[in-house]
């Protein structure tokens, strides 16, 4: 009876999501009314002009905000509290890297957390409805692999968390017995200890789902196979059929490669993608069998900008086009620029894919290191123009068992030194909390490497590009092959 009732409860949530992707205008008008009620008299609403919006159409003229514009507000609330983002009490903070500079601590209100809880239910409802795997409800186990939920406390005594670590803690108390690790062990800070405990706790259990960013889940899979001396996870958990992940889209080829690497041939694995940022839960897979994410349009208000500067609501964006995305959230952020680019996969149902960032960035496991952070790290590490001359260093990803950054530095002024790599990692870890987690705690990425690049390579690229009157040195690359495709090898 309990399973029957829970199934129908989830099906009702799936019905609501289906309604929202087929009727985005009506869904966004309903969210506008609710957010007006929640945020209408807040300082954020008054300052931004949201308080003066009478209709959804009025929101088209809202000024843009972002993490760096709000940094002084975040810092003031972190230090001494306040109600800038509305009446909903602040329950804690989520620490994330700044888009252009140092980390920021985003307030988590009770309304934010309640919205996150509803979103997680809807995501699970879509996953189970699409795969019709209802037998896993109140049966088997789900492994959740995330970073630490607790980082530190603010000066006002509120907890500071990492959002990927916080999400597993939001499980209903009545269902926690179905999750691995148990709730108490989610708070273990040492990654090695935590992952070994998860492997031991999951041994012999009927595991049907694993969730986490792909790099952490791959590290878990490798350790589990080594610990139990098996070739693949199918030998340990033959009913493991669902993988819920975030941190960036996996292509169909990457999904197939992940399945081949960790499961026996023919194993069927359903992939559920999440588009969850520290600022809010923005989207999730509508149907794990198809490309495209449903916008979380029952919770957030969305605006989109095209390359010509046009501003559009969710019901106005067109299939095949790319847009920048802006959100107004129950947590109090108003017309907040995410610096993400999305592609509209279909209009009815309205589904999107996250296809990149507006700013030049590089990532090993989803931590998103910006060019601005790279330059701050270089400066803080003492690697300046006196060392590399007029040509700025480049960075690419070296994909080994543990991916790492390779820093290519011109030999114009002196020979680059291998020991600079440690200084750069230290500074990036200070600037980017997610990079620090992956490098120092979870140890799923390797230490950086320094390589010397002939200044003639930079000079040749400069001459070629200036000849076309369009030189802007590209700085980050997904691989050495991509770097060579742009700069060449200097041979011949």
Q: Are residues 177 and 309 in the same domain?
A: yes
Write down which residue in 306, 334, 357 finishes a domain: 357
State the angle between helix axes of 214-228 and 191-202 in degrees (0 to 180), rounded to the nearest 10.
60
C-beta atoms surrounding 436 within 10 Å: 20
Q: Are residues 255 and 133 in the same domain?
A: yes
Q: Collapse the DSSP code of 124 into the 3-class scheme (helix H, G, I; strand E, B; otherwise coil) and give the result.
A: helix
The whole-number pLDDT of residue 413 equals: 63
C-beta separation of 319 from 342 below 8 A: no
Is residue 301 situated within a structural domain?
A: yes
Q: Are residues 84 and 215 in the same domain?
A: yes
Query: How many domains does the chain contain in total?
Result: 2
Which stretches of the chain score pLDDT less than 70? 97-102, 389-390, 412-414, 416, 461-473, 489-492
Is residue 234 situated within a structural domain?
A: yes
Q: Are residues 121 and 106 in the same domain?
A: yes
Q: Are residues 60 and 173 in the same domain?
A: yes
The whole-number pLDDT of residue 67 equals: 86
Report d(CA 421, CA 12) in Å as an integer. 53
Portion of the chain with pLDDT greater than 70, in percent: 94
The whole-number pLDDT of residue 61 equals: 94
Q: Are residues 34 and 60 in the same domain?
A: yes
Q: Are residues 283 and 172 in the same domain?
A: yes
What does the DSSP 8-state code read for residue 476? Answer: E
The candidate with the shortest Cα–Cα distance to 191, out of 471, 414, 441, 485, is 441
The whole-number pLDDT of residue 462 equals: 59
Is residue 300 situated within a structural domain?
A: yes
Is residue 222 situated within a structural domain?
A: yes
Is residue 492 situated within a structural domain?
A: no
Q: Are residues 261 and 323 in the same domain?
A: yes
Q: Are residues 306 and 434 in the same domain?
A: no
Q: Are residues 252 and 370 in the same domain?
A: no
Is residue 381 situated within a structural domain?
A: yes
The whole-number pLDDT of residue 400 equals: 79
Write down which residue in 357, 379, 410 finishes a domain: 357
Q: Are residues 444 and 458 in the same domain?
A: yes
The whole-number pLDDT of residue 364 equals: 81
Is residue 350 situated within a structural domain?
A: yes
Query: Residue 120: which CATH number?
Result: 3.40.50.12780
376 burial (CB, 10 Å; 0-12 / 13-18 / 19+) is buried
Is residue 105 situated within a structural domain?
A: yes
The whole-number pLDDT of residue 15 equals: 95
Q: Are residues 187 and 285 in the same domain?
A: yes
Query: Residue 395: which CATH number?
Result: 3.30.300
Report d(CA 475, CA 177) in Å as an integer. 48
C-beta separation of 437 from 365 below 8 A: no
Write down which residue in 333, 357, 381 finishes a domain: 357
Range of the domain at 458: 361-487
């Amino acid at each position: 009876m309990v399973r029957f009732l829970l199934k129908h409860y989830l099906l009702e949530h799936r019905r609501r999501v289906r309604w929202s992707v087929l009727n985005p205008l009506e869904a966004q008008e309903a969210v506008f009314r609710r957010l007006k009620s929640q945020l209408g008299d807040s300082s954020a609403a008054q300052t931004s002009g949201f308080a003066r919006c009478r209709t959804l159409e009025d929101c088209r003229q809202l000024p843009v905000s972002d993490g760096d514009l709000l940094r002084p507000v975040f810092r003031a609330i972190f230090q001494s509290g306040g109600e800038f983002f509305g009446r909903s009490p602040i329950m804690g903070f989520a620490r994330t890297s700044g888009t252009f500079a140092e980390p920021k601590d985003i307030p988590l209100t009770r309304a934010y957390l309640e919205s996150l809880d509803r979103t997680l239910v809807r995501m699970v409802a879509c996953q189970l409805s699409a795969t019709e795997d209802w037998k896993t409800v109140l049966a088997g186990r789900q492994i959740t692999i995330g970073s630490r939920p607790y980082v530190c406390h603010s000066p006002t005594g509120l907890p500071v968390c990492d959002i990927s670590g916080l999400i597993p803690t939001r499980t209903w108390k009545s269902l926690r017995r179905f999750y691995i690790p148990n709730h108490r062990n989610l708070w273990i800070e040492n990654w090695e200890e935590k992952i070994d405990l998860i492997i031991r706790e999951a041994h012999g259990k009927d595991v049907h789902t694993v969730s986490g960013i792909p790099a952490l889940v791959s590290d878990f899979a490798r350790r589990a196979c080594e610990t139990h001396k098996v070739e693949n996870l199918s030998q340990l958990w033959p009913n493991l059929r669902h993988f819920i992940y975030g941190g960036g889209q996996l292509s169909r080829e990457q999904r197939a490669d992940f399945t081949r690497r960790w499961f026996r041939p023919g194993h069927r694995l359903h992939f559920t993608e999440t588009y969850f940022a520290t600022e809010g839960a923005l989207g999730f897979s509508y149907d794990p069998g198809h490309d495209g994410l449903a916008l979380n349009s029952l919770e957030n208000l969305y605006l989109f900008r095209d390359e010509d500067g046009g501003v559009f609501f969710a019901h106005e964006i067109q299939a095949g086009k790319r847009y920048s995305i802006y959100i107004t959230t129950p947590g109090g952020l108003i017309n907040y620029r995410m610096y993400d680019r999305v592609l509209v996969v279909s209009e009815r149902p309205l589904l999107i894919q996250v296809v990149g960032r507006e700013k030049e960035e590089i990532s090993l496991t989803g931590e998103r290191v910006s060019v601005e952070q790279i330059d701050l790290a270089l400066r803080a590490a003492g690697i300046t123009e006196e060392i590399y001359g007029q040509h700025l260093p480049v960075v690419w990803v070296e994909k080994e068992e543990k991916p790492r950054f390779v820093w290519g530095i011109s030999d114009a002024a002196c020979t680059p030194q291998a020991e600079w790599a440690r200084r750069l990692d230290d500074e990036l870890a200070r600037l980017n909390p997610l990079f620090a987690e992956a490098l120092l705690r979870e140890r799923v990425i390797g230490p950086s490497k320094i390589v010397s690049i002939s200044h003639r390579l930079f000079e040749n690229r400069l001459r070629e590009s200036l000849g076309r009157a369009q030189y802007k040195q590209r700085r980050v690359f997904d691989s050495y092959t991509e770097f060579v495709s742009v700069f060449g090898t200097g041979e011949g």
